[in-house]
Amino acid sequence: LCVDLSLQLFAIFAFATCGGYSGQLRVSVDCMEKASSNLSIGIDFGYPFRLHQVAFEAPMCEAMRRERVFLAGDYSSSAEFFVTIAVFSFLYSLVATVAYIFFLNKYRENSQRPLIDFVVTVVFSFMWLVSSSAWAKALSDVKVATDPDEVQLLIPACKDPTNRCGSVLGPRWSGLNTSVVKAQISSIGGLCVSF
Ligand SMILES: *[C@@H]1O[C@H](CO)[C@@H](O)[C@H](O)[C@H]1NC(C)=O
């Protein structure tokens, strides 16, 4: 029961921090031709981290022309896998908790129930471990891909050394870091209690 409740809490937490994440970064493009500069270009992104679909307008540093630039990478499979496992373990733990409370007598009579429960919990804990590890790896790649210093390299005008590009603001990651850590703690906790 304790495992169920902790899975539930961590699932809510993971969903709230990964599934609900949205962040922003800002870069500046300071053209030699000052009038066409944009010193604060905001780029918003979030779950499910399909960064290759996130576009922003950057000055071309010639006349007043602008062009669309896309971020690089698609991390949606790991992010969606992580959130899906969180949602399913949440639903499972909810059903298991309700069943445990309301059908405690039947639970005791049926000798196979605890075994099924045990197997399902082990499977979920394993999925947690796999999905949170995959997400941890994807998250470190997302951090690189959304680092304003890296994003500057994608802007064609920044390749010309006469224009100066800079980072204004990087995305905040505090919530996402804790989601990975907590998911891993809970999966390890789940496995330990299961065995
Ligand atoms: C700079 O870019 C932002 C988009 O991030 C846009 O809203 C703003 O109008 C641009 N400023 C100039 C001076 O082009």
Q: Is 38 in the pocket of ligand 1 (CB under 6 A)?
A: yes
> What is the whole-number distance in angstroms between the Cα of residue 58 and the centre of ligand 1?
8
In three-state secondary structure terms, 184 is helix
Whole-angstrom distance, CA of residue 117 vs CA of residue 120: 5
The closest residue, in CA terms, to atom 7 on ligand 1 is: 41
Q: Per-residue confidence of the chain (195 residues) as pLDDT tens digits?
A: 555 666 666 676 676 667 888 899 999 999 998 899 999 999 999 999 999 999 999 999 998 899 999 999 999 999 999 999 888 888 887 787 787 788 777 766 777 777 877 888 788 888 888 988 898 899 899 999 999 999 999 999 999 999 999 999 999 887 665 655 666 566 555 544 543
Residues in contact with 108: Cβ distance below 8 Å, sequence separation at least 6, in sequence order:
none
pTM metric for this prediction: 0.78
DSSP-assigned states of every residue in 27-93: EEEE-SSGGG-EEEEEEEEETT--GGG-EEEEE-SSTT-EEEEE-----HHHHHHHHHHHHHHHHHH
Q: Is 41 in the pocket of ligand 1 (CB under 6 A)?
A: yes
CATH number (1.10.3470, 1.20.140, 3.40.50, 3.30.1450) of 2-194 reads: 1.20.140
3 and 176 in contact (C-beta within 8 Å)?
no
